[in-house]
Amino acid sequence: EFHIEDFKRELIDGIREKVGDKQVVCGVSGGVDSTVLAVLLKEAGVNVRAIFVDHGLMRLDEGDEVRNNFHRMGVEIETVDCSELFMSKLAGVADPEEKRKIIGNLFIDVFWNTVGNAEMLAQGTLYPDVIESASNAKSKASVIKTHHNRVARILELQEQGKVLEPLAELFKDEVRELGVSLGIPSDILNRHPFPGPGLAVRCPGDITEKKLRIIRECDDIFIGRLKDYEWYDKVWQAYAGLIPVKTVGVKGDERSYEWAISLRAVVSEDAMTADWVELPPALLRETSNRILNEVDGINRVLYDISTKPPASIEWE
């Protein structure tokens, strides 16, 4: 029989043995996996620095929310604001894999450079991430997407035995259970998953500040309505993604010719498969009205009714 407390103790013993007195660097994003990892490392008492890299691809006010959450848990994190660096490297890049690789590799460089004497990199990789990456590694033809935990820079470190992934045998629900036993508040554990490459994977084509602003504002309205209607906790993940295709509309008395936004809400067990959610029409209507009234640059709101497979949860 599986006991989370025993499992936690085993994990902690394993971490202490592997790390010894080495300097560990751990990237935190505010997401469940990296949060549980950071708290676990702290609990293990190893020498760790938790770094929050703000790549400029976060949601509205997300940086403050993340810092506030760690403050509540009494875990010290260091913020590195790299938005300009990321935006300059991403300028004009439209290919999804290209974007993922740039972001993933840059992440590692930032961690490594911030902590000058880092000897190990800790990542909150879960079992499903390992499976998807393994199938990716086997054959070039079957690459679905490069998970940010498996970019070239990481593989290099991995070969040198410098990557620590204590959660690699767990599914998301088990990570949440571990989080409960570590005393992490439930609102933090129940945050929707958010991908490492952030809003980049919800922004097809090249990334610009204008596109990011639109995605942020729409996402904030949508997530706010989900919370108001008490649907946030009933869905696995929800977000607004940009469709950078212009269509014709009317705003006031004038013709508009603007982009569309897509809303997606899914339920899932482990992110390997997913189903779209039949949200209440009133929630969708209010979200759509508010987006069309409040967000500059959008004249059309669409709801994504695609299962995974064949669609993925994110856009890229």
88 has binding-site annotation:
no
Kindly determine how many residues on this chain lie close enough to bind ligand XMP according to the rule CB under 6 A: 12
Which residue of 195, 198, 204, 241 would you call a contact of ligand XMP, by CB under 6 A? 195
The contacts of residue 277 (CB under 8 Å, 6+ apart) are 231, 234, 235, 238, 265, 266, 267
- Does position 306 interact with ligand XMP (CB under 6 A)? The reply is no
The contacts of residue 64 (CB under 8 Å, 6+ apart) are none
- Does position 153 interact with ligand XMP (CB under 6 A)? The reply is no
Exposed / middle / buried, residue 217 (Cβ in 10 Å: 0-12, 13-18, 19+): buried
Bridge-based pairing of strands 254-267 and 275-276 is antiparallel
- Does position 237 interact with ligand XMP (CB under 6 A)? The reply is yes
Q: Distance between CA 282 and CA 230 in Å, rounded?
A: 13
The contacts of residue 253 (CB under 8 Å, 6+ apart) are none
- Of 126, 117, 158, nearest to 33 (Cα)? 126
- Does position 271 interact with ligand XMP (CB under 6 A)? The reply is yes
- Does position 241 interact with ligand XMP (CB under 6 A)? The reply is no
30 has binding-site annotation:
yes
Q: Which is nearer to ligand XMP, 147 or 153 (CB)?
A: 147
Which stretch, 5-13, 87-95, 194-202, 212-220, contacts ligand XMP (CB under 6 A)?
Answer: 194-202
- Does position 193 interact with ligand XMP (CB under 6 A)? The reply is yes
Which residue of 42, 176, 246, 308 would you call a contact of ligand XMP, by CB under 6 A? 308
- Does position 105 interact with ligand XMP (CB under 6 A)? The reply is no
In the complex, what is the shortest distance from the CB of residue 68 to ligand XMP, in angstroms, rounded to a whole number? 21
**Binding site residue list:** 29-35
Residue numbers at the binding site for ligand XMP (CB under 6 A): 147-148, 193, 195-197, 237, 271, 308, 312-314
**Binding site residue list for ATP:** 29-35
